[in-house]
C-alpha cells in the first residue's frame, strides 16, 4: 500500500506568506539584549491562517481518540470524558489563578482541593489524601517513599524488599527500583489470585511491603484478598494498593476498609481526565491513619473554622513527618483536579456506584460473547476488564495481527502483550460509557477476524490496510527513535 506522507508545516512554508498582522506597537521601544544572547536567524514557517488550519485539521483526522470511536485499551480506562468537565476547568476563576497568589484570593480553588481530598478519602476509605503527584507512577513513588519513611522512623531498617505479583503493571517494580529497594516477584495461582503459599514463604522481617493491584491486570478480584492483607501485616509490612483502575470498585469496595495502607488513584483513568496524549495526569495518593503524618507537604487544610455565615479559611498545612514536596506547586489543578471534581459532583455516590456496575457488566458481556472464539485463560467473572489469548491452534496469526486488523474495523486495538503471564495477551477494557450496540459490533469484528485467521491469514499479517499508514516497523521505531520530525538545514550550526 502506498503511504502518503503528510508534508510538515515547514515544507508547506513559502517566503512572505502571512497568517497574522501585528498591530503597531503601543509600548516604548527598548534596547535589545547584548548580541551574544540573540539568534541571528529564527527559521519559522511562513503560512496563511487557512494553511495552518488545514494542516492541523488533516493531522487530527489521522488520529484515533475516544471521541472518534471505541477504545478498549485494557488497564488504561479510556472512558468517554464528559464535555462539561471542559467547561468547568476553563472557568476564568480557575483558569487564570496563579499558584503563588495569596491564599485569601484563591479560597474557591482551595475549597475545591480540600473537598476533593475529602471525597477521595470517602471513596477509598483512607484517612488522608495528597493531590500532588502528577501521574500514577509518580503516585506510586510517593507512596513507596512514605512506606520507607515509616519503617525508617521506627528504626526498622532491615526492611528493603517489596513483594510484587507477576501480574503487576510495569510501573510498580520501576517505582520500587527508583528507591533502591529489592523487588520480590510473587506468582499468581491458577485462578489468577496471589499464590498464598508463595506469599507466605516470602513474608519476613526484611519485607517493607507489598504492592498489589486489585482487581489485578487480569481483571480478577483476588478471592483471598483478606488473607493476603493479613499475611503481609502479620510480618510487619505495609500494604500498597495500585488504584489506577478503580473503575470496578467505586461505591462497592473501599481499599482502606480492606486494610490497605496506601494507594494511588489515577484521576486520568477512573475520574475522566483525558489522557494518552490528551491531557495532564493526576495521581493523588490516599493513606491509612498510620501514614498520615508522612504525607507530602503541603496539604490543603482549614486554618480557621467557619463561624456563623462565614466560610472557613482554607490554606496549606504541613504533616508532622512529611516526606516533603513531590511536585512544584499543588498538583495538576485545572486540567486534573477541576475536571475530576466535576465528574464526581455530576455523578454523586449512587452515580459512582453505577459506573462500576456498568463497567463490570460491559466487560463480562464482551467476555461472554468472545469465550467460544478466543481462549480466556483465567475464565471466571471478571471485573472491569479481561484478558484473552490472541492466537489459534495451527495458525501463525498473533495478537499483534488481530490488534492491527481491528483498526480496519475502525476500533482502537486492545492492550496487547500485557499482562506478561498470558501468552499473546489481548487485554480488553470496554468501560461503562459504551452501549450494547458498540460492544456487539466489536465482538462481531473479533469473531470475523478469528474466521479470517483461518481463511486468509495474510490479510491479518498485512493489516491495517484501510488506515493512512500501514503496518509500522515497531522494532525500528523503538531502536531508531526520532523524536523530532523536522530539523532546519543549518541545525548543526545553530546548536
Ligand atoms: C496506568 C497504570 C499505572 C501508571 O499510571 P500512569 O499515570 O501512566 O503513570 C499504574 N498501574 C496500573 C495498574 C495502571 O493501569
Sign of the torsion formed by the C-alpha atoms of 363, 368, 370 and 373: positive
Q: Is the CB of 75 under 6 A from ligand 1?
A: yes
Nearest CA to ligand 1 atom 6: 136
Q: Is the CB of 169 under 6 A from ligand 1?
A: yes
Residue 491 CB-density burial (10 A; 0-12 exposed, 13-18 middle, 19+ buried): exposed
Q: Is the CB of 367 under 6 A from ligand 1?
A: no
| pLDDT given at position 480 | 83
> In sequence order, what are the residues at sequence separation of 6 or more whose Cβ sits closer than 8 angstroms to the Cβ of residue 336?
267, 268, 273, 279, 280, 281, 282
Entry pTM: 0.91
Instruction: Please report the atom of ligand 1 found closest to the CA of residue 137.
Output: 9
| pLDDT given at position 38 | 92
Residue among 139, 179, 174, 141 nearest 160 (CA)? 179
Count CB neighbours of 262 within 10 A: 31
Tell me the per-residue pLDDT of 342-386, one tens digit each, with 9 for 90 and over.
999 999 999 999 999 999 999 999 999 999 999 999 999 999 999
Q: Quickly list DSSP for 121-133.
A: HHHHT-SEEE---
Distance from the alpha carbon of residue 169 to the mean position of ligand 1, in angstroms: 7
Describe the strand order of the beta sheet including 425-428 as a list of residue ranges.
386-389, 425-428, 415-416
Q: Is the CB of 244 under 6 A from ligand 1?
A: yes
Strand partners, 262: 240, 287
Q: Can you tell me the distance from the alpha carbon of 260 to that of 324, in angstroms, rounded to the nearest whole number?
A: 22
| pLDDT given at position 265 | 98
Q: Which of 75, 167, 418 to mutate to test the pocket of ligand 1 (most atoms within 8 A of CB)?
A: 75
Give exposure, 12-31, as e/b (b: 16+ Cβ within 10 Å).
Answer: beeeeeeeeeeeeeeeeeee
> What is the distance between the terminal CA atoms of the chain, rounded to a whole angstrom?
38
Q: Can you tell me the distance from the alpha carbon of 128 to that of 319, in angstroms, rounded to the nearest whole number?
A: 10
Place of cell 458481556: 365
Q: Is the CB of 139 under 6 A from ligand 1?
A: no
| DSSP secondary structure letter of residue 192 | S
Instruction: Please report the atom of ligand 1 found closest to the CA of residue 140.
Output: 10
- What average pLDDT values come out for the chain (495 residues) when binned by 10 residues? 66 90 92 91 89 92 91 96 96 94 97 98 98 96 98 96 95 95 96 97 98 96 97 98 96 98 97 82 97 98 93 97 96 94 98 98 98 97 98 96 98 96 97 98 98 97 92 86 66 59
ω into residue 158 within 30 of 0, thus cis? no
**Options 3.90.180.10, 3.40.640.10, 3.50.50.60, 3.40.470.10; CATH of 84-345:** 3.40.640.10
Nearest CA to ligand 1 atom 3: 136
> In sequence order, what are the residues at sequence separation of 6 or more whose Cβ sits closer than 8 angstroms to the Cβ of residue 135?
266, 268, 281, 282, 283
Grid coordinates given for 206: 526484611
Q: Can you tell me the distance from the alpha carbon of 143 to that of 131, in angstroms, rounded to the nearest whole number?
A: 12
| pLDDT given at position 1 | 39
ω into residue 432 within 30 of 0, thus cis? no
Q: Quickly list DSSP for 426-448.
A: EEE---TT--HHHHHHHHHHHHH
Amino acid at each position: 500500500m502506498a503511504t502518503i506522507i503528510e508534508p510538515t508545516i515547514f515544507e508547506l512554508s513559502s517566503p512572505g506568506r502571512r497568517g497574522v498582522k501585528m498591530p503597531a506597537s503601543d509600548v516604548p521601544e527598548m534596547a535589545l539584549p547584548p548580541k551574544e544572547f540573540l539568534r541571528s536567524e529564527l527559521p519559522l514557517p511562513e503560512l496563511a491562517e487557512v494553511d495552518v488550519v488545514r494542516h492541523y485539521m488533516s493531522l487530527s483526522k489521522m488520529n484515533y481518540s475516544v471521541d472518534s470511536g471505541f477504545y478498549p485499551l485494557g488497564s488504561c480506562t479510556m472512558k468517554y470524558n464528559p464535555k462539561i468537565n471542559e467547561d468547568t476547568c476553563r472557568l476564568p476563576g480557575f483558569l487564570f489563578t496563579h499558584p503563588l497568589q495569596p491564599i485569601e484570593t484563591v479560597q474557591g480553588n482551595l475549597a475545591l482541593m480540600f473537598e476533593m481530598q475529602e471525597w477521595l478519602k470517602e471513596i477509598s476509605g483512607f484517612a488522608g489524601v495528597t493531590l500532588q503527584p502528577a501521574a500514577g507512577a509518580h503516585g506510586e513513588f510517593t507512596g513507596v517513599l512514605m512506606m520507607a519513611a515509616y519503617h525508617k522512623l521506627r528504626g526498622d531498617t532491615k526492611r528493603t524488599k517489596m513483594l510484587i505479583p507477576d501480574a503487576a503493571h510495569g510501573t510498580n517494580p520501576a517505582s520500587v527500583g527508583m528507591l533502591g529497594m529489592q523487588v520480590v516477584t510473587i506468582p499468581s495461582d491458577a485462578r489468577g489470585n496471589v499464590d498464598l503459599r508463595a506469599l507466605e514463604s516470602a513474608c519476613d522481617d526484611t519485607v517493607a511491603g507489598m504492592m498489589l493491584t486489585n482487581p489485578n491486570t487480569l481483571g480478577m478480584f483476588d478471592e483471598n484478598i483478606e488473607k493476603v492483607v493479613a499475611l503481609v501485616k502479620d510480618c510487619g509490612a505495609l500494604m500498597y494498593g495500585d488504584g489506577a483502575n478503580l473503575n470496578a470498585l467505586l461505591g462497592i469496595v473501599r481499599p482502606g476498609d480492606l486494610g490497605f495502607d496506601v494507594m494511588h488513584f489515577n484521576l486520568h483513568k477512573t475520574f475522566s481526565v483525558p489522557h494518552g496524549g490528551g491531557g495532564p495526569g493526576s495521581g493523588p495518593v490516599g493513606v491509612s491513619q498510620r501514614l498520615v503524618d508522612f504525607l507530602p507537604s503541603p496539604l490543603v487544610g482549614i486554618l480557621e473554622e467557619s463561624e456563623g455565615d462565614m466560610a472557613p479559611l482554607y490554606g496549606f498545612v504541613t504533616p508532622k513527618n512529611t516526606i516533603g514536596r513531590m511536585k512544584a506547586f499543588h498538583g495538576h489543578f485545572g486540567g486534573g483536579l477541576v475536571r475530576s471534581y466535576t465528574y464526581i459532583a455530576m455523578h454523586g455516590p449512587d452515580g459512582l456506584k453505577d459506573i462500576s456496575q456498568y463497567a463490570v457488566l460491559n466487560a463480562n458481556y464482551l467476555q461472554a460473547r468472545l469465550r467460544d472464539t478466543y481462549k480466556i485463560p483465567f475464565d471466571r467473572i471478571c471485573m472491569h476488564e479481561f484478558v484473552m489469548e490472541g492466537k489459534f491452534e495451527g495458525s501463525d496469526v498473533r495478537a499483534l495481527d488481530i490488534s492491527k486488523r481491528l483498526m480496519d474495523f475502525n476500533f482502537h486495538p486492545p492492550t496487547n502483550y500485557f499482562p506478561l503471564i498470558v501468552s499473546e495477551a489481548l487485554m480488553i477494557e470496554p468501560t461503562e460509557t459504551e452501549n450494547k450496540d458498540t460492544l456487539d459490533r466489536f465482538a462481531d469484528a473479533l469473531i470475523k477476524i478469528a474466521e479470517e485467521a483461518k481463511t486468509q491469514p495474510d490479510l491479518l499479517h498485512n493489516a491495517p490496510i484501510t488506515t493512512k499508514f500501514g503496518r509500522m516497523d515497531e522494532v525500528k521505531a523503538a531502536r531508531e527513535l526520532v523524536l523530532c520530525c523536522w530539523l532546519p538545514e543549518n541545525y548543526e550550526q545553530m546548536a
